[in-house]
A and B are shown apart, each in its own frame.
Chain A
Amino acid sequence: MKITREMIDHVAKLARLKFGERELEGFISQLNEILQYVEKLNELDTSGVPPTSHMFFEKTPMREDKVRDVPSPTDKLIENAPRREENFYVVPRVIE
Chain B
Amino acid sequence: MNKDRVKDLALLPAHRLHELIVSGETTSLEITESVLANIERRDPVIKAYLTVLRDSALRAADRVDRKVKAGERINPLSGIPLALKDNMCMIGTETTCSSRILKGFVSPYDAAVVERLLAVDSVIVGKTNLDEFAMGSSTENSAFGPTRNPWDPERAPGGSSGGSAAAVTAGEAILALGSDTGGSIRQPAAFCGIVGLKPTYGRVSRYGLVAFASSLDQIGPLTRDVTDCALLMNVIGGHDSRDSTSAEIECPNFTKSLTTDIRGLKMGVPREYFQEGLDPEVERSIKGAIKLLEEFGAESVEISLPHYGYALAVYYIVAPAEASSNLARYDGVKYGYRHPERENLLDMYCKTKSEGFGPEVKRRIMLGTFALSSGYYDAYYLKAQKVRTLIKNDFDQAFKKCDIVMIPTTPTPAFLIGEKVDDPLQMYLSDVFTLSVNLTGLPGMVIPCGFSSGRLPIGLQMIGRAFDEKTLFRAAYTFEQNTDHHKQTPDFSKIER
Contacts and interface: CB of A to CB of B under 8 A. Distances in A.
Given A31-B367, A92-B343, A52 B388 contact: yes
Decide if the interface of chain A is mainly helix, strand, loop or mixed: loop
A66 interface: no
A11 B335 contact: no
Contacts of B433: none
A40 B313 contact: yes
Contact of B389 (A1, A19, A50): A50
Contact of A94 (B109, B248, B345): B345
Contacts of A30: 363, 424
Interface string B334-373: 1111100111111111110110010100110111011001
B241 interface: yes
Decide if the interface of chain B is mainly helix, strand, loop or mixed: helix
A67 interface: no
A42 to B, nearest CB: 7
* Residue from A1, A31, A56, A79 whose CB has the most chain B CB atoms within 10 Å: A56
Category for how many chain B residues contact A: 35 or more
Given A55-B441, A61-B244, A92-B345, A42 B383 contact: yes
Contacts of A16: 328, 331, 346, 349-350, 353
Contacts of B137: none
Contacts, number: 165
A44 B341 CA distance: 48
A27 B425 CA distance: 13
The 6 residue pairs across chains A and B that have the minimum distance between CB atoms: A55-B441, A51-B385, A71-B109, A82-B338, A72-B108, A80-B335
Interface of A: 1, 3, 7-8, 10-12, 14-19, 23, 27, 30-31, 33-35, 37-38, 40-42, 44, 46, 49-57, 60-61, 63, 71-72, 76-77, 79-83, 89, 91-94
Given A16-B353, A31-B366, A31-B370, 12 more contacts: A17-B350, A19-B362, A27-B362, A30-B363, A37-B313, A38-B380, A41-B317, A42-B383, A49-B389, A55-B215, A82-B335, A92-B344
25 contacts: A15-B353, A16-B328, A16-B353, A17-B353, A19-B362, A27-B362, A34-B428, A38-B316, A41-B310, A41-B383, A46-B383, A51-B382, A55-B392, A55-B440, A56-B201, A71-B109, A71-B110, A79-B106, A82-B335, A82-B338, A83-B338, A91-B345, A91-B348, A93-B343, A93-B345
